[in-house]
Structure 1
Amino acid sequence: MLAKLTSKNQLTLPKSITQNLGSVEYFEVTVQNGQIILTPVRIQRADAVRAKLASLNLNEEDIANAVTWARQP
């Protein structure tokens, strides 16, 4: 399957490929042995992170303590 690189450095992925991935907006792009590797990345929105923290009963003080602990030498 071919994909054409435009003069603006844009690449359109074939629909048959993207349909297999689901709803992906972002890709991690790497080059390995002369090949371009696209890895789907699902970005979590801040609201999802806040909801997860709330479900774990974590508050701002808990987060601050965790960051302090993680930054210890």
Structure 2
Amino acid sequence: MLAKKTSKNQLTLPKEVAEKFPGTDYFDVRVEGRVIELRPVRIEPEEGGVDLARIREKIKKLGVTGDDVANAVRWARRRR
């Protein structure tokens, strides 16, 4: 099978290869001499996962308010 590198240094896996890894979005990439090796990776949350309650707890601990979020969004969207 042949894959072409794009101008943005991206490769698309051939359909026949991608179908062998259903649900896999990430691959570990290694280079051994002139060989590129891809290994499927499953990303899992840290111990116990990150749920909404833990996120809210962290935001409260940091003192982030709704106004802080609104200001950050306005800052990120401003035109330069």
* Length-normalised TM-score, structure 2: 0.56
Number of paired residues? 49
Gaps of 5+ in 2: 50-80
Runs of 4+ in 1 over 6 A off after TM superposition: none
Alpha-carbon deviation of 1:45?
2.6
Aligned-residue Cα RMSD (Å) equals 1.3
Residues in 1 aligned to 2:35 and 2:25: alpha-carbon distance in whole angstroms: 21
Describe the superposition over 1:18-66 as per-residue Cα deviations: whole angstroms up to 9, x where unpaired. Answer: 10112101111000121000000000034xx316xxxxxxxxxxxxxxx
Map 1:53-72; keep pairs closer than 5 Å: none
Bigger shift: residues 37-46 or 5-14 = 37-46
User: Paired residue for 2:7?
Assistant: 7
Gaps of 5+ in 1: 52-73
Map 1:1-73; keep pairs closer than 5 Å: 1-46=1-46, 49-50=47-48
Identity of aligned residues (%): 49
Which of the two has higher C-alpha Rg?
2
